[in-house]
Structure 1
Amino acid sequence: MTDRTRLPATDRARPTSQLGNLDLNLLVTLRALFRERNVTRAARRLGVTQPAVSAALSRLRRHFGDELLVRVQGAYVLTPLATQVSGQVETVCAAAERLFATGSAFEPAASRREFTLLMADYPATVLGPVLSRLFADEAPHASLHLQLVRETLGRDVVETISLVDGMVSPPLGHFRTPGVTSRPLFEDRWVCLVSEGHPLAAAESFGVADLAGQPWVVPYHRDDGYPSAAPATRQLSALGIRPHIAVRVESYRAVPDFVAGTRRVALVPDRLVAALPGTHGLLTLDCPVPLDPLAEHLWWDSGRDEDPAHCWLRDLVARAAAGLGP
C-alpha cells in the first residue's frame, strides 16, 4: 500500500538551512588566514598541514568568487571583499566559541577561551593596563580580543552587544532596551584642551561665549544632524555651543595631535590626558561651567547574566575599573 504522506525524495533531501551545505570548519581556517595572511603560519596556528590549509583556501575562493588573499610585493594582503568580511568572521567565530564553551562551571586558570570586548580607544587606554594585568594573572591561557569602536554607535547597538562578551560605553538613549544589562564602571570629568600660548590659556578667566568662537576638534561626531550622540558634542550642546568643527576624528587618542600647535580647542576626559604620553606643549583648563561627568558602563546581553564565564569576565572588568581610583 502506498504511503501518500511520504515526501518526494528531492524534498526530503532539501536542507532546511544554507548551513547544511557549509563546512563550518572553513570559518576557523578563514579566520586564521585573515589573521596570519600567510598559509604556512595559518597552518601552524591551526595545527594542520600546509596542503590542508591551501585546499581550504581554494574552497573558500570558489565559495566567495574572490581571491581573498593576493600577493603584493612579496607579501599577502586582503582583497577588498576579504577586508569587508574579516570583522564578521571574527564575530561569528567568537560567538560560536562562546556557545560551545557555555557550561555550569568555569575555571579561569584552565580556560583557553577567547573573550571579546568592544570599546572606544579612550576606555581602552585608561582601563587597558589594569585589565590586562588582571586577565593575564587569572586566565593565563585564555585570550582577549579587544575590538575598538571606530565610529559612533548606531541604532543596531543591541545586536552588536549580542555578538560580543561585553561593551564599555557611556549610556545612550537607545541602549535602554530589554535584553541588555549594564553596570557602572568609572566616571571622568571633562576638561578643555588647548596648546600652550592659546589665548584662553593666558586669560585669567573665560566663559562659554569665549569657547563658542573657537575652532574645535571633536571625536566621534556624526555629520548627519545636530546634536550628535557623541559624548563631547552632547556636552557642547548642553552649553549651548554649536561648534565650528575644524577636525572630526574617530578616535579620542588622536584629539591631542590635532590640538597641538594650533588655535583649536577640544573637550577631553581628564583621565585620558593623564594616561597619554607625548602631551608636551598642551594644557588642560577647567571648563567655565560644570559639565555632566563622563560615565563609562559595561553592557552585555541579558541572556548571559548567569553564565559563569561571563560573570567572571564582568567581575574582572569591574575590578579593573575599581583599581583606577577616584
Structure 2
Amino acid sequence: MEHIDLNLLRSLDVLIEEENVTRAAQRLGVTQPGLSAQLAKLRAIFGDRLLVPAEKGRGMVATSRALELREPLRAALKDLEAVVQTPARFDPYSDKRDFVIATSDNAAIVIGVPLVEKLRKEAGRGIRLSFVRADADVSSQLERGDVDLLFGSERAVPASMKVRKLIDETYVMVQRKGHPRGNVALDVDTYCALEHVLVSTSGGSFHGFIDEQLERLGRHRRVGLSVHQFVMAPTIVASTDYVSTLPKHFACRFAEWLDIHELPIAAEGFSLFAAWHPRAHADPGLVWLRQQLVAKSESRWLT
C-alpha cells in the first residue's frame, strides 16, 4: 500500500465509469496527459491494461480485471469518503446531508410522507431527502452507499441488511364516496360481485394475493382493471364505480376522497421495514434518521 496514491484509485473509478480518458480527465480536473500517466501507473500496480482502445470510436473498453475491481473499488472509496467527511456528531439543524431512500410507492406514502412532514419541524434546510425506486439491485446500492435506507416489506429486504420493523399492515377495501352500493358493511357475495382495481407491482396481472385467498374459500372476484402502482388506484376509484383492496395505512391517507371498509374475509397482512447496510449502522446521520422513523412509527398517525 505504501506505493499507492489514493488519488490513483479515484482516477481508476472514474476511468472505468467513463471508459474515455478525455471525459474522465474533465471530471477529475486534471489534464489528459496527466491522467494518461496515472493510468500507466495503475496498469503497473494491477498488472493489467485495465482499459484498452475500443474497436470502433475513440473511447476505451474496460478489461475483465477492471470490471472485477469496479464494485469493490467504489465501495472502498465510499467508505473512505465517509471516514473523511462524516462528522463524529450530527446536528440536523446546522449540518448538510442528502439522504437517499429506496422505496415502493406504498411505503413512500405510508412511511415517507409522514417522515417528510416530521423533518420539516425537526431538521434545518440543509437536510434533504431523495426517494428512489427500490429495484432488484438494491442490496448492491446499499452496500456501495448509493442508497442510505430501504423501505419495504419482508420480501423486499435483503437478508444481509440490518432491519427494524415499522408497521404491521392489513388490507381494506376502498370505494368512492357516494358509491351506488351504499356505505354498508361488506359481505363476501357483495365483495366478489364488485368490479375491482388490482395493483400488480410485477405488471399486468389480473390475479393477485387476495384472489389466491378467495380461491381457497372457493370464491372469485371480478378484476376489471390492473395498474402497476399503488398511487394510481385511489385516483381511479375516486372517480369511478371501481373498488380496490389496498393496505390500510395507505388507504387512510386518502380517507377524504374514499370510504374505507373492512374486508369480509380474514386476509393475511404483511409488515413494512426500514433496512440499512451494516457498515452504516453507526453513521451519526443515519442513526438520527432512523430515530425519526421509530418515533413516527410509534405515534398516532398509524392508527
Structure 1 position 290, deviation (Å): 2.0
**Equivalent of 2:268 in 260, 269, 292:** 292
Specify the SS of the correspondent of 2:294: helix
1:164 matched to 2:183? The reply is no
Specify the SS of the correspondent of 2:272: strand
Structure 1 position 180, deviation (Å): 1.0
2:230 corresponds to which residue? 252
1:306 corresponds to which residue? 282
Specify the SS of the correspondent of 1:17: helix
The residue type equivalent to 1:19 in the other structure is V
Question: Does structure 2 conserve the Cα–Cα contact (< 8 Å) formed by 1:187 and 1:294?
Answer: yes
Runs of 5+ in structure 2 lacking a partner? 1-7, 16-20, 29-57, 60-74
1:184 corresponds to which residue? 165
Question: Does structure 1 conserve the Cα–Cα contact (< 8 Å) formed by 2:183 and 2:259?
Answer: no
2:96 corresponds to which residue? 112
Q: Distance in 1 between matches of 2:104 and 2:92?
A: 26
Question: Does structure 2 conserve the Cα–Cα contact (< 8 Å) formed by 1:217 and 1:255?
Answer: yes
The residue type equivalent to 2:213 in the other structure is A
Question: Does structure 1 conserve the Cα–Cα contact (< 8 Å) formed by 2:150 and 2:157?
Answer: no
The residue type equivalent to 2:235 in the other structure is D
Q: Distance in 1 between matches of 2:282 and 2:166?
A: 20
Structure 1 position 248, deviation (Å): 2.8
Q: Distance in 2 between matches of 1:271 and 1:225?
A: 24
Specify the SS of the correspondent of 1:175: coil
Output one character per residue of 1:190-240: Cα deviation in whole Å (capped at 9) or x when no partner.
111123565654676521x6544543212243247797xxxxx33442333
Question: Does structure 1 conserve the Cα–Cα contact (< 8 Å) formed by 2:101 and 2:130?
Answer: yes
Q: Distance in 1 between matches of 2:302 and 2:184?
A: 32
Question: Does structure 2 conserve the Cα–Cα contact (< 8 Å) formed by 1:221 and 1:248?
Answer: no
Output one character per residue of 1:254-311: Cα deviation in whole Å (capped at 9) or x when no partner.
21221234342211223333323751xx422210122233422101112211222221
Question: Does structure 2 conserve the Cα–Cα contact (< 8 Å) formed by 1:167 and 1:300?
Answer: yes
TM-score for both structures, normalised by structure 1: 0.58
The residue type equivalent to 1:17 in the other structure is L
Output one character per residue of 1:137-179: Cα deviation in whole Å (capped at 9) or x when no partner.
4431433223253xxx55433224443110111210x6342x3
Q: Distance in 1 between matches of 2:25 and 2:90?
A: 26
2:246 corresponds to which residue? 268
Show the 5 A alignment for 1:52-201. 101-128=85-112, 130-149=114-133, 155-162=136-143, 163-172=146-155, 175-177=157-159, 179-196=160-177, 201=182
RMSD over aligned CA atoms reads 3.9
1:36 corresponds to which residue? none
The residue type equivalent to 1:319 in the other structure is A
**Equivalent of 2:187 in 194, 200, 206:** 206
The aligned length equals 238
Question: Does structure 2 conserve the Cα–Cα contact (< 8 Å) formed by 1:195 and 1:263?
Answer: yes
1:217 corresponds to which residue? 197
CA spacing shift, 1:285–1:312, aligned 2, 3 Å = same
Show the 5 A alignment for 1:236-247. 236-240=211-215, 244-247=222-225
CA spacing shift, 1:99–1:251, aligned 2, 3 Å = farther
Q: Distance in 2 between matches of 1:244 and 1:17?
A: 56
Question: Does structure 1 conserve the Cα–Cα contact (< 8 Å) formed by 2:249 and 2:302?
Answer: no
CA spacing shift, 1:155–1:226, aligned 2, 3 Å = farther
Question: Does structure 2 conserve the Cα–Cα contact (< 8 Å) formed by 1:247 and 1:258?
Answer: no
Q: Distance in 1 between matches of 2:183 and 2:263?
A: 15
Question: Does structure 2 conserve the Cα–Cα contact (< 8 Å) formed by 1:126 and 1:272?
Answer: yes
CA spacing shift, 1:225–1:161, aligned 2, 3 Å = farther
Specify the SS of the correspondent of 1:123: helix
Q: Distance in 2 between matches of 1:24 and 1:247?
A: 52
CA spacing shift, 1:18–1:325, aligned 2, 3 Å = closer
User: Percent identity among equivalent residues?
Assistant: 18
Q: Distance in 2 between matches of 1:211 and 1:140?
A: 47
Question: Does structure 2 conserve the Cα–Cα contact (< 8 Å) formed by 1:183 and 1:299?
Answer: yes
Question: Does structure 2 conserve the Cα–Cα contact (< 8 Å) formed by 1:113 and 1:142?
Answer: yes
1:234 matched to 2:209? The reply is yes
